[in-house]
Each structure stands twice: as structure tokens, then as C-alpha cells.
Amino acid sequence: MQVSEFNSMIQEETGYLMPFAINLTGNPEDAKDLIQETIYRALSNSEKYVDGTNLKAWMYTIMRNIFINNYRKKMREQAVVEKVPHEQLLYRFESSCDCLQEMKLTIKEIAEFIHHLPELIRLPFMLYCDGFKYREIAFVLREPIGTIKSRIHFARKTLQTRIAANA
């Protein structure tokens, strides 16, 4: 297949990418960036495309992988950035507020409870706490939305039980 023919095939399929990108990102501007990155990767990896296969599915796969990789990168960066400031804020807040001294559970203990949840329910719960919608979590984890809702509910109930037992 010639480069110009492949480029025209890519251009034909780009119209189908926007709804999928918005579904992933939930934001039209982020969706445009995701589409741009998808087209760039498709063009730069044109030799990996097998002629005669479903180009739209190939591009959807590229887009989904970019989204997941960007999400994971964002979570790693956020985890590194958030460790120190939360502790500093906690100590600063504890010294200025008597009500925290009266609490039986600290934020660290609650974080420890979350950390000890089984991964099957911890991951969807953490994604939900990070602001992702059920459908986004279901897509990223490749699970039905009902399963995601159940796991998040079960994580909440487990945490409530553990917190009540230690309060």
C-alpha cells in the first residue's frame, strides 16, 4: 500500500474517532488532543498496519492504548507529587485544629485501610475517588459497568465496617 493511499484512508476514519475520544476523556478539548495523538501514531506506525484489516478498529485500539498510558502516567506523577504535600498539610492542620486531635482515626489510618482492600475492589474505588465516572472506569478496566458499581459499593461498605470497628 502506498503512503498517500494509507493517508487518505486515515483521513476517512478520523470522523469516527471524535465520539469515542469524548467518551474516553469527557472533554472536547482533551478529545481533540487524543485524536491528534492517535493520528500521529497511526501515521508513524503505518508499516504495522496489515492491509485488508479493519482500519477503524486498529485506530480505536491505538486511541484506547494512548488514553490508558496517559492515565497511568498521570497517576504515577500524581502519586509522587501528592505524597509530601498531604503529610505537610496534615501536620500543619493538626497543629492549628483541636478537632483533629479528638479524632480517633487519622487520615493515615484511613489510607492504610484503603491500601489493604483487595485489589479487585481497591482499584475501581481509587479511580472513582480520583473523579472518574463509572463508564470511564468500566472502559479502562474492561469490565461491565454494573460490576464496577458493585465493586465500588463493596469497597465503601468494607471501609465503613473497618472504620466503625476502629472508631
pLDDT value at residue 102: 44
The answer, yes or no, to whether residue 74 has pLDDT greater than 90, is no
Residue among 2, 23, 14 nearest 55 (CA): 14
Does 3.40.50.2300 match the CATH number of domain 1-100? no
Rounded-to-integer distance, Cα 70 and Cα 67, Å: 5
Confidence of residue 82 (pLDDT cuts 50, 70, 90): low
pLDDT digits (tens, 9 = 90+) for 126-140: 888 888 889 889 988
Map out the domains of the chain as residue ranges: 1-100, 103-167
Q: How many CB atoms lie within 10 A of CB 63?
A: 22
> For residue 157, how far is the Cα from the chain centroid?
22
Rounded-to-integer distance, Cα 15 and Cα 89, Å: 46
Secondary structure class of 149 (helix, strand, coil): helix
- CB-based contacts of 24, cutoff 8 Å, min separation 6: 31, 34, 63, 64, 67, 136, 139
Residue among 20, 130, 129 nearest 74 (CA): 130
Question: If you classify domain 103-167 with CATH, what class do you get?
Answer: mainly alpha
Confidence of residue 5 (pLDDT cuts 50, 70, 90): confident
Q: How far is CA 156 from CA 39, 46, 90, 111, 151, in A?
A: 40, 46, 23, 13, 9
